[in-house]
Chains A and B, each alone.
Chain A
Amino acid sequence: MSNSTQIGTEQMNTDQDNIVIRINQMHKWYGQFHVLKDINLDVTRGEKIVICGPSGSGKSTMIRCINRLEEHQKGDIIVDGTELTNDLKNIEAVRREVGMVFQHFNLFPHLTVLENCTLAPIWVRKTPRLEAEEIAMQYLERVKIPDQANKFPGQLSGGQQQRVAIARSLCMKPRIMLFDEPTSALDPEMIKEVLDVMIELASEGITMLCVTHEMGFAKTVADRVIFMDGGEIIEENVPQEFFDNPQHERTKLFLSQILNH
């Protein structure tokens, strides 16, 4: 940020600047239930992170804390220099920069595909309608469904809907994309079309956090794989090491289950 004269601080500053998400000793409870325990995670700009773990381990809850769909009760989450507190201004600022893709797409059924994509740019970013439509068409082309622009979500296949959901998030030009099991509601033949879009996206330098059980995707794309269980981050490593040489017993068990079934 500041052009410091001292080389040491400058070095430190660029390091700091490169961290887009910092989660520090974060805890979360649902009532009495301690769902996230002492989460520490720094994500550098452009990093692709895959999060996996058994059902109920808190993966969704963790990434939903990053855009404050869930509130944490202890510790800090700093996204792109903005700390997430109860301040609505901060929350809105973070949400503008963070796109999210859901397991069940969550497209707006009463709006056409194009309207789904232009809604947030027009109402949140105040982009003029024509410009927003142009951008939306660009992204719909990138996810390879420009010809469906005027249909309603209900008329598309699951894979197409999820690609629309990805395009819809991208239209806000987010710096960070969160994916919560984007392919697990899809039939096998549609998984590939969605993963292809995500792989292409990954090659473009956007920061990605992706909860998924698609280990092939993790191997191709991830810079780091994070394994969660019981609300804790148990293990994290580069994919090669993570899959070939898991350290923790629970990781080994999980991997053997998921790879052998």
Chain B
Amino acid sequence: MEKNNLSATGSTMKPDYVIGEHPDLPPPSNTIGPIAWIRDNLLSSPANIVMTILSIFFLYKILPPSLDWMFFDAAFVGEDRNACRAVADGACWAFISERFKLFTYGFYPIENRWRVDLSFVLLVIAVIPILFDKTPFRKYGLWFAMVFPFIAGWLLVGGFGLDPVPTEKFGGFMLTLVVGITGIAFSLPLGILLALGRQSNLPIIKVFCVSFIEFIRGVPLITLLFVASTMLSYFLPPGTNFDLLLRVLIMVTLFSAGYMAEVIRGGLQAIPKGQFEASDAMGLKYWPSMRLIVLPQALKISIPGIVNTFIGLYKDTTLVIIIGLLDPLGIGRASLSDTKWTGLSNEVYLFVALFFFVSCFAMSRYSLYLENKLQTEHRR
């Protein structure tokens, strides 16, 4: 039967290739290319078609007016709000460009702003070797990153040959970066220690870490910041002048360290028991075993959570406004009360939002890059 069938079709459709040497053919044209993509992704079902149409309608309604407002109908130069309105109906970016320096440096003395710029350049130099392991001279870069906080502190605060600048003058993006980066840099190691302490066999350490973490997680950051600005002075001996910014830095760091510890604990728990046993059986002591075997794996698993905490911390820096420090949002609100520029809150908030978005999006992208890199490197 089958044989008959085969020979019947075989006579009409003789294969035009040698059996076993079928050439590689391109896929049928209706399965690749933009048309196929549109069909598969946008028009694959009736519900999908409706969604696509609605989305296009929505974009059509939203996009052109926004673009008009932001760019085509916007005024980029002008003395004040009226000058803006005279030339265009859209955004008045002249306001932002006039206040740009204020947004960047806060009230940092103009003649000393080069110190902020220099710190920023050094920051970039310090961060690159940390982020990318293929950086040339990475070893020296990492050493530099270790001393960078001290150099930056000296440059920004002054003393030892530089004009001292009181930290109340800090503000704007510079303040955000100072608080955000200090918090990030110190909360990670602190969080690691807390997470390890929470798993410790020594009851005192364990109880301390657990109560610390639970306290931090149970109290809003605002409360801690208020404590930082007022309460601490009760506990400290009278007359000690404990810098307000320093208190904020400590509180923000402790706060995110508490969250960090829980994120990392999740990673630690995901490490199979066999890994601990293998490193014990080799005679590795606690710290080498943690540093070389457990933490590299636990941190890798925790990357999304860690970056999430970083981003949260970075955005929480806006809360310093509550205790009178002027971050970009604070500067923006202060600027809005200028009678020359009334009613420009859209511009200000959009600008500040853009700044935060760019920073946080960069962190998020970097975390994806890192995850991918480690993923392919270890290919489980």
Please list the residues of chain A having a beta carbon within 8 angstroms of any beta carbon in chain B.
67, 69, 92, 95-96, 98-100, 102, 104, 106-110, 119-120, 123-124, 152, 154-155, 169, 172
Q: Determine whether the beta carbon of A152 is less than 8 Å from that of B288.
A: no
Residue B280 CB within 8 A of the other chain: yes
Known: A100-B278, A110-B296. 17 other contacts (CB 8 A): A67-B280, A69-B277, A69-B281, A92-B285, A95-B281, A95-B283, A99-B281, A102-B277, A106-B274, A108-B278, A108-B279, A110-B300, A119-B282, A124-B288, A155-B379, A169-B282, A172-B283
CB < 8 Å: which of A110, A124, A154 contacts B282? A124
19 A-B residue pairs with CB within 8 Å: A67-B281, A69-B281, A95-B280, A98-B281, A99-B281, A102-B277, A102-B278, A106-B272, A106-B275, A106-B277, A106-B278, A108-B293, A109-B380, A110-B374, A110-B378, A124-B282, A124-B288, A154-B379, A169-B282
Q: Determine whether the beta carbon of B280 is less than 8 Å from that of A69.
A: yes
Specify which chain B residues have a CB less than 8 angstroms from the CB of A95 in the assembled complex: 280-283
Give the total of B residues in contact with A, Cβ under 8 Å: 23
Least Cβ distance of A137 to chain B in Å?
19
Q: Which 3 pairs show the lowest CB-CB distances between chains A and B?
A: A95-B283, A106-B278, A106-B274
Secondary structure of the B side of the interface?
helix
A108 to B288, CA, bound (A): 14
CB < 8 Å: which of B275, B277, B283 contacts A120? B283
Least Cβ distance of A95 to chain B in Å?
4
Residue B377 CB within 8 A of the other chain: yes
The residue on A at minimum CB distance from B278 is A106
Between B281, B300, B377, the greatest number of chain A beta carbons within 10 A of the residue's beta carbon is seen for B281
CB < 8 Å: which of A67, A99, A104 contacts B274? A104
A105 to B60, CA, bound (A): 59
The residue on A at minimum CB distance from B380 is A154
CB < 8 Å: which of B274, B292, B296, B377 contacts A152? B377
A155 to B380, CA, bound (A): 7
Specify which chain A residues have a CB less than 8 angstroms from the CB of B279 in the assembled complex: 108
A120 to B297, CA, bound (A): 17
Q: Determine whether the beta carbon of B297 is less than 8 Å from that of A92.
A: no
The residue on B at minimum CB distance from A124 is B283
Specify which chain B residues have a CB less than 8 angstroms from the CB of A107 in the assembled complex: 278
Between A96, A98, A106, the greatest number of chain B beta carbons within 10 A of the residue's beta carbon is seen for A106
A109 to B272, CA, bound (A): 11
Q: Determine whether the beta carbon of A92 is less than 8 Å from that of B283.
A: yes
A107 to B275, CA, bound (A): 7
A123 to B279, CA, bound (A): 11
A109 to B377, CA, bound (A): 10
The residue on B at minimum CB distance from A68 is B280
Specify which chain B residues have a CB less than 8 angstroms from the CB of A100 in the assembled complex: 278, 281
Least Cβ distance of A180 to chain B in Å?
10
A18 to B248, CA, bound (A): 66
Which residues of B, 321-380, contact A by the 8 Å Cβ criterion?
Answer: 374, 377-380
Specify which chain B residues have a CB less than 8 angstroms from the CB of A67 in the assembled complex: 280-281
Least Cβ distance of B290 to chain A in Å?
12
Between A69, A92, A110, A169, the greatest number of chain B beta carbons within 10 A of the residue's beta carbon is seen for A110
The residue on A at minimum CB distance from B274 is A106
The residue on B at minimum CB distance from A155 is B379
Q: Determine whether the beta carbon of B378 is less than 8 Å from that of A119.
A: no
Specify which chain A residues have a CB less than 8 angstroms from the CB of B292 in the assembled complex: 119, 123
Least Cβ distance of A32 to chain B in Å?
22
Specify which chain B residues have a CB less than 8 angstroms from the CB of A104 in the assembled complex: 274
Q: Determine whether the beta carbon of B297 is less than 8 Å from that of A110.
A: yes
Which residues of B, 270-325, contact A by the 8 Å Cβ criterion?
Answer: 272, 274-275, 277-285, 288, 292-293, 296-297, 300
One digit per residue, 1 when the CB lies within 8 angstroms of any chain A CB and 0 when it does not, for chain B 184-213 equals 000000000000000000000000000000
A108 to B280, CA, bound (A): 13
Specify which chain A residues have a CB less than 8 angstroms from the CB of B284 in the assembled complex: 119-120, 123-124
The residue on A at minimum CB distance from B285 is A92
Specify which chain A residues have a CB less than 8 angstroms from the CB of B281 in the assembled complex: 67, 69, 95, 98-100
Given known A-B contacts A172-B282, A172-B283, A152 and B277 have beta carbons under 8 A apart: no
A155 to B277, CA, bound (A): 22
A92 to B297, CA, bound (A): 24
Least Cβ distance of A99 to chain B in Å?
8
Between B274, B282, B288, the greatest number of chain A beta carbons within 10 A of the residue's beta carbon is seen for B282
Which residues of B, 123-173, contact A by the 8 Å Cβ criterion?
Answer: none
Specify which chain B residues have a CB less than 8 angstroms from the CB of A155 in the assembled complex: 379
Least Cβ distance of B371 to chain A in Å?
13
Specify which chain A residues have a CB less than 8 angstroms from the CB of B378 in the assembled complex: 109-110, 152, 154
The residue on B at minimum CB distance from A103 is B274
Specify which chain A residues have a CB less than 8 angstroms from the CB of B374 in the assembled complex: 110
CB < 8 Å: which of A92, A96, A152, A169 contacts B379? A152
Specify which chain A residues have a CB less than 8 angstroms from the CB of B293 in the assembled complex: 108, 119
Q: Determine whether the beta carbon of B274 is less than 8 Å from that of A102.
A: yes
Least Cβ distance of B252 to chain A in Å?
31
